[in-house]
Copies of this chain bind each other. A is one copy, B any other.
């Protein structure tokens, strides 16, 4: 069987619409749903390489709403939408009326008349981003139920305060391809560790997303951070429970050294302590600039005490055969390159630079797969039809349009 047909066979028994149309947290999705998304992403990648048209939306909008800066996720979302035939429309709150007291409920409907997907990044305020996405989802669900919207737009989390599913799914795809398969991840040790950065206030969603997903596939996940840099407790508990269920492992250790020991893969990345994010959220809400300055000063001073949390060559030598796979969601704080001292030594990063680009390159496929499985109850059938179709992605189609 060729790899594409094998993927179709894998997807086939997993048909039916997803339990919920939105994708907000990986742990709200069943394991078969996650597997289906990865298999569809892989199938799309094959079809694109075969120069086949993947257009399955003749029209429709993919709305993107970024409440925080983004380059790679923004372009991944735009690329995925375009691949399937959708046009991107940015809801720029600076220009729109959300900023002027209009209710979320109303706006969500007003942007959704012909909208298939709403991609949202909202990761600044702890306790708010995920809730905002749920509000938008509830609003368009009501709009669809009440006949306002002819289709139910699916909300896609492009990074919240809680999870960053399109990132962690791309990470999982990268791991699976690197080690051979999803099954091959079983028993592999992944070190998700805090790393020093000269900035502060980085979201928690990446480490939370990683520990909440990789524990479901039997990996031995080790979370490491200095004292006080904890993640949201519920997410950590969930990761532990997933590890128990999947036969993998999960533990929290207090040093990068311990986490890296014999690790098969490492993910060293800075984040702000959960408690700091709570204080910061309160200060941001209050518009307390002086308070924010003071908090930043405090946190940078605290960060500075952990400069040794750097992914150096010595640290890498502690990993399995000294050759663990280095992962990063990018951009990394590279010592001597993007900052005097940061998350990773320049020589380590340079060795893994291309692999981190490859890792990022799975994101457009993952997003396209999330879209496709949210809309089509029989993705295998659709993929098969796309492959049989005579239309090339590049070059004039043979007949008709």
- Report the Cα distance A149→B360, complex, angstroms: 11
Partner pick for A113 among B58, B76, B106, CB 8 A cutoff: B76
Residues from chain B with Cβ under 8 Å of A364 in the complex: 113-114
A232 in contact (CB, < 8 A):
no
- Report the Cα distance A147→B72, complex, angstroms: 18
A247 in contact (CB, < 8 A):
no
Asked if B382 and A103 make an inter-chain contact with CB atoms under 8 angstroms apart, the answer reads: no
A193 in contact (CB, < 8 A):
no
Asked if A83 and B114 make an inter-chain contact with CB atoms under 8 angstroms apart, the answer reads: yes
A56 in contact (CB, < 8 A):
yes
Asked if B148 and A361 make an inter-chain contact with CB atoms under 8 angstroms apart, the answer reads: yes
Knowing A71-B96, A89-B88 are in contact, say whether A397-B396 is a contact too (CB < 8 A).
no
Closest to A385 in B: B396
Asked if A382 and B357 make an inter-chain contact with CB atoms under 8 angstroms apart, the answer reads: no
Asked if B148 and A79 make an inter-chain contact with CB atoms under 8 angstroms apart, the answer reads: no
Residues from chain B with Cβ under 8 Å of A399 in the complex: 389-390, 399-400
Asked if A58 and B397 make an inter-chain contact with CB atoms under 8 angstroms apart, the answer reads: yes
Asked if B79 and A114 make an inter-chain contact with CB atoms under 8 angstroms apart, the answer reads: yes
Knowing A331-B97, A331-B106, A358-B147 are in contact, say whether A375-B394 is a contact too (CB < 8 A).
yes
Q: How far is the CB of A396 from chain B (nearest CB, A)?
A: 4
Q: How far is the CB of A261 from chain B (nearest CB, A)?
A: 30
Binds B, one of A46-54, A220-228, A313-321: A46-54
A347 in contact (CB, < 8 A):
no
Knowing A106-B330, A400-B399 are in contact, say whether A357-B148 is a contact too (CB < 8 A).
yes
Q: How far is the CB of A401 from chain B (nearest CB, A)?
A: 4
**Per-position contact with B for A63-82: 1 when CB-CB < 8 Å, else 0?**
10010011110111011001
- Report the Cα distance A399→B66, complex, angstroms: 37
Near B by CB (< 8 A), chain A positions 92-127 give 95-98, 100-103, 106-107, 109-111, 113-115
Partner pick for A338 among B59, B101, B390, CB 8 A cutoff: B101
Q: Top 6 nearest A-B pairs by Cβ distance?
A: A400-B400, A397-B401, A79-B114, A53-B58, A72-B110, A71-B96
> What are 23 pairs between A and B in contact, CB < 8 Å?
A53-B58, A55-B396, A58-B393, A59-B83, A60-B394, A69-B100, A70-B96, A71-B102, A74-B95, A75-B89, A78-B87, A97-B331, A101-B331, A101-B338, A101-B339, A103-B331, A103-B338, A143-B357, A385-B395, A385-B396, A389-B396, A399-B400, A400-B401
A75-B113, A143-B357, A146-B354 known, 13 other contacts, Cβ within 8 Å: A53-B59, A59-B84, A69-B96, A70-B96, A70-B97, A72-B111, A74-B96, A75-B111, A79-B114, A82-B87, A106-B331, A398-B400, A400-B401
Binding site for B on A (CB under 8 A): 48-49, 53-61, 63, 66, 69-72, 74-76, 78-79, 82-85, 87-89, 91, 95-98, 100-103, 106-107, 109-111, 113-115, 143, 146-150, 330-331, 337-339, 353-354, 357-358, 360-361, 363-364, 375-376, 382, 385-386, 389-401
